[in-house]
Amino acid sequence: MLIVTWAVLLVLAGFALRGQRWAYAAFIATGLTSFAARTGFRLQPQPCELVVGLQWVLVSFTNYWHIVIFTMFFILSHAQVRARGVQGFLWAAAATLLMGAVLEIAQALTGSGHCRLRDLIPDAVGAVLGMCLVLLWQRVTAQITATSPTPRVP
């Protein structure tokens, strides 16, 4: 079942990167319902770890899985935002952090995974990394466009 879920998420991510809003919404819904599916759609509420201290902040930076996932989610979110410039980045960052919070709540409600407030730190790091990758992509594509020769009209 997990392989099927990942395959569906990959296909939806491809469509979402191309700006398809239905795919972005389905990507989010599939990702969140996968937590409930792991428990047979039974709610098994667990408490959230709300402890945040310097040592836990430092440990959060080693949560590479969250960093990678939320880097990708930021990129998907930015592809959906119609606003450009700083406003587009702010909307994508807000969507990424909101998704991180909703993911932690889903983990708390289903008992699948560990609900930790400190997991929002690597989610934010992923958003910043995603922003850097989007900026790099924009710069490279602008450079290619600027240096490509104009086609001759016969």
Q: What is the pLDDT of residue 150?
A: 66
Q: What is the pLDDT of residue 94?
A: 96
116 backbone dihedrals φ, ψ, rounded to 5°: -135, 130
pLDDT in tens, the chain (154 residues): 678 888 999 999 999 999 899 999 999 999 888 878 888 888 888 898 888 788 888 888 888 999 999 999 999 999 998 778 899 999 999 999 999 999 999 989 888 888 889 999 999 999 999 999 999 999 998 888 888 776 666 6
Q: Concatenate the DSSP letters of all residues of 69-135 into one string.
A: HHHHHHHHHHHH----THHHHHHHHHHHHHHHHHHHHHHHHH-SS--BGGGHHHHHHHHHHHHHHHH
